[in-house]
Amino acid sequence: MASEIKQGTLELVNHLPILQVITPMLIAPILVVLNNKTLSWLLSFLGALACLFISILLIQAVSDGSILTYYLGGWVPPIGIEYRIDAANAILLFLISIISTIVLIFSYSSLHAEIPEEKHTLFYSCFLLCLTGLLGVVATADIFNVFVFLEISSLSTYVLVAQGAYLDRRALSASFNYLIMGTIGATFFVIGIGYIYMATGSLNMMDIAERVNQLSDNRTIQAGFAFIVVGMGLKLAMVPLHVWLPNAYTFAPTVVTCFLAATATKVALYVLIRFVFSVFNYEDSFVNELFFLLLMPLAVIAMIAASVIAIFKQNLKKLLAYSSLAQIGYMLLGLSLMNQKGLASSLVHMVNHGFTKAALFMSLGAFMLKTKNVYIKSLRGLGKSMPFTSAAFVIGGLSLIGVPGTAGFISKWLLLEAALETGYWLVAILIIASSLFAVIYIWKIIEVLYFSESSEAYNEVSVLTLMPIWILALFCIFLGINTSLTVDVANMATEILFK
């Protein structure tokens, strides 16, 4: 594995890590100054597109196993802040960028229905800040910087969720609830960072990793780690710290739900992965026991319980939100198996589920544009009047179930293989049980779409709305057939993380 570190020259590739993060950050205030809603949309879209372009360049640069670093302001770590891109975060950067680009295409038509026009500029500005935060969390190698970006993304997320209040006032309490929980999570996280700083005197991940190795069985470090796990557990909606998620997803505007469901929880999980492997010692018995005794059971409970709850939900956004909780369970499970295959399955599922859930939420959003309703009954017979949106929903649903030929199958296959390799037969059976529950709740919707008579006739949504939905749906199939983007990069990432 080539593990060269590039630094110091003026070539563009060396500045990509920072460009990735600051592009949306620089555009955000410009929008507020311009205060024109069409221009805001256009600039946000171009910004996201630039991010996507950069993330593709980054993935190409690191796909051979090399690592790109960037010292902020030229200050050498551990004094200065370091950005560090390897295969593990490059793939996350790609996911975040592409989802934000696709979501922004969708927002052009859907935002009018949900938010008053004078608020659009501020909405896009917040959206870009949220994007900045998520990208920053992933790109940085400085643990305090992680906290800062996490807060940037969280604060803007609270605002974005609250925008749903123009349709349903309950968005306000959902957002408030999320604010309280999210802040508690952030507090835990920053306390954890404090402990680590106390014990090691450093904030740079690589630097801490070296020092932690010398301080084996240090109580302060262990307490810090526990705080970080709980803090991130809240952010990634690990059962039983998940209570904020269903309402936040349900009442946020569709655009926000799509974006959050596809990216936000994954970023929190990424932080957890990064801390376990690049900051702490994953071979440490404390870390291992924590994952084995605590996180694995919680992940399995999420997988089963959330799927069962989803079956009984009539509000479709809530149904998909609970399904997200179950899918987060899969990712957490892959991580808690603590082997290469498990971690790879976790990373692959982040990407696959990102596309799948975004496709589902977005086609649901398209239905809502027409029916103005999120309850399952309102979808009656839409399979006939909105054939393209319905077909995309079916593809997303099949991918969620994990039917072969779709993205979801790949991640499930890897996860099952990892569980068998570890010898956890029961876990493998429970994974399968959970996908059977997914069959039930997805099929419930498909049946209503295609096999019941509609009371009202609706037209298909515009081409501009269909395009992002279908890009996502095609990704669900593409990633199920060609896995060079997901599995190969994830394998490269696990090799780096497990070194």
Partner 1 sequence: MPIEFLIFLTVFSPAFVGGLNLIFSKKPNVRDTVTLLGALITFYFSVNIFLGFDGQATQYKLATIMPGIDISFHIEPLGIIFSLLASGLWILTHIYAIGYMRGAKEKNHSRFFFFFSVSIASVMGISFSGNLFTLFLFYEILTLITFPLVSHKGSTEALRGARVYLSILLGTSIGLQLLGIIWVYFSVDTLDFVKGGILKGSFGSFELILLVGLFAFGIGKAALFPFHRWLPAAMVAPTPVSALLHAVAVVKAGVFTVLKVGVYIFGVDSLSVSGATDWLTWLACFSILFASLIAMTKDNLKARLAYSTISQLAYVVLAFSLANSLGVLGGALQIVTHAFGKITLFMCAGSIYVATKKTNISDMRGLGKVMPITFLSFLIGAISIIGLPPMGGSWAKWFLLLSSLEADKQFVVLVLLISSLLNIAYLLPLVAKGFYLNPINQTEIKSFTEPSALVWLPPAITAGISFLLFFYVGYIRDFMINFGLVS
Q: Find the binder of partner 1 among 172, 403, 477, 485 (CB under 8 A).
A: 403
Which pairing describes strands 67-71 and 5-6: parallel, antiparallel, or unpaired? parallel
Q: Give the shortest CB-371-to-partner 1 separation in angstroms.
A: 21
Alpha helices in 12-142 (DSSP H): 12-34, 37-62, 87-114, 120-139
Using the rule CB under 8 A, give the single segment among 17-25, 88-96, 184-192, 405-413 that binds partner 1. Answer: 405-413
Q: How far apart are CA 101 and CA 16, in angstroms?
A: 18
Helix (H/G/I), strand (E/B), else coil: 213: helix
Distance CA 128, CA 136 (A): 12
253 binding partner 1? (CB under 8 A)? no
What's the sign of the alpha-carbon dihedral 431, 436, 440, 446? positive
Among 122, 223, 301, 433, binds partner 1 (CB under 8 A): 433
Q: Which residue from 21, 96, 398, 430 is in contact with partner 1, where contact means CB under 8 A?
A: 398
Task: Enumerate residues 271-300 that contact partner 1 by CB under 8 A.
Answer: none
The structure tokens listed for 322 are 């609970």
> CB 331 → partner 1: shortest distance, Å?
18
**Minimum gap (Å) between residue 391 Cβ and partner 1:** 12
The pattern of x and - marking residues 470 through 499 that bind partner 1 according to CB under 8 A reads ----------xxxx---x------------
Q: How many CA atoms lie within 13 A of 87 on its CB side?
A: 25
Give min distance, CB of 439 to partner 1, in A.
5
Q: Can you tell me the distance from the alpha carbon of 37 to that of 451, in angstroms, rounded to the nearest whole number? A: 41
The answer to whether residue 432 forms part of the interface with partner 1 (CB under 8 A) is: yes
- Smallest distance, partner 1 to C-beta of residue 435, A: 6
Give the C-alpha separation, 238 to 234, whole Å: 6
Question: By CB under 8 A, which span of 105-113, 169-177, 253-261, 449-457 interacts with partner 1?
Answer: 449-457
Q: Residues 290, 294, 300, 306: is their CA dihedral positive or negative? A: negative
Tokens 């190698």, residue located: 141
**Sign of dihedral through CA atoms 228, 84, 266, 40?**
positive
CB of residue 487 vs partner 1: minimum separation in angstroms?
5
Rounded to the nearest whole angstrom, what is the least distance from the CB of residue 414 to partner 1 in the complex?
8
* Min CB(431)–partner 1 separation in Å: 9
Rounded to a whole number of angstroms, the minimum distance from the CB of residue 384 to partner 1 is 10
Cis-peptide into 17, omega within 30 deg:
no
Residue 435 interacts with partner 1 (CB under 8 A)? yes
Q: Cβ of residue 420: shortest distance to partner 1, in angstroms? A: 5
Cβ 224 vs Cβ 196: under 8 Å: yes
Stretch that binds partner 1, among 81-89, 162-170, 367-375, 412-420 (CB under 8 A): 412-420
Closest CA to 450 of 405, 402, 394, 412: 394
* Contact with partner 1 (CB under 8 A) among 151, 168, 417, 495: 417
End-to-end CA distance of the chain, in Å?
11
Distance separating alpha carbons of residues 102 and 95, to the nearest angstrom = 11
Minimal CA–CA distance to 463: which of 133, 109, 131?
Answer: 109
Q: Which is nearer to partner 1, 168 or 417 (CB)?
A: 417
Q: Rounded to an integer, what distance in angstroms lies between the CA atom of residue 248 and that of residue 375?
A: 17
Determine if 342 is a binding residue for partner 1 (CB under 8 A).
Answer: no
Q: Are 324 and 400 in contact (CB under 8 A)?
A: no
Q: Which is nearer to partner 1, 134 or 304 (CB)?
A: 304
Element (H, E) at 352: helix 340-371
Confirm or reject binding of residue 391 to partner 1 (CB under 8 A): no
Q: How many CA atoms lie within 13 A of 424 on its CB side?
A: 22
Q: What is residue 283's three-state secondary structure?
A: coil
The yes or no reply on residue 405 touching partner 1 (CB under 8 A) is yes
Q: Please, what's the b/e burial string for 58-73 (b: 16 or more CB within 10 A of its CB; e: otherwise)?
A: bbebbbeebbbbbbbe
Contact between 377 and partner 1 per CB under 8 A: no
- Confirm or reject binding of residue 426 to partner 1 (CB under 8 A): no
Q: Which is nearer to partner 1, 80 or 404 (CB)?
A: 404
Segment near partner 1 (CB under 8 A), from 14-22, 179-187, 230-238, 426-434?
Answer: 426-434
Give the distance, in angstroms, between the CA of residue 421 and the centroid of all CA atoms in the same chain.
27
Query: How crowded is residue 394: how many other Cβ atoms within 10 Å of its Cβ?
Result: 19
The site for partner 1, by CB under 8 A, has a size of 31
Provide, rounded to whole angstroms, the least separation between the CB of residue 450 and partner 1: 7
5, 76, 180, 429: residue in contact with partner 1 (rule CB under 8 A): 429
The structure tokens listed for 395 are 């593809």
Instruction: Please identify which residue in 13, 436, 463, 464 interacts with partner 1, judged by CB under 8 A.
Output: 436
451 binds partner 1 (CB under 8 A): yes
Q: Which is nearer to partner 1, 135 or 414 (CB)?
A: 414
- Residues forming the site for partner 1 (CB under 8 A): 398, 401-405, 410, 413-414, 416-417, 420-421, 428-429, 432-433, 435-436, 439-440, 443, 447, 450-451, 453, 480-483, 487
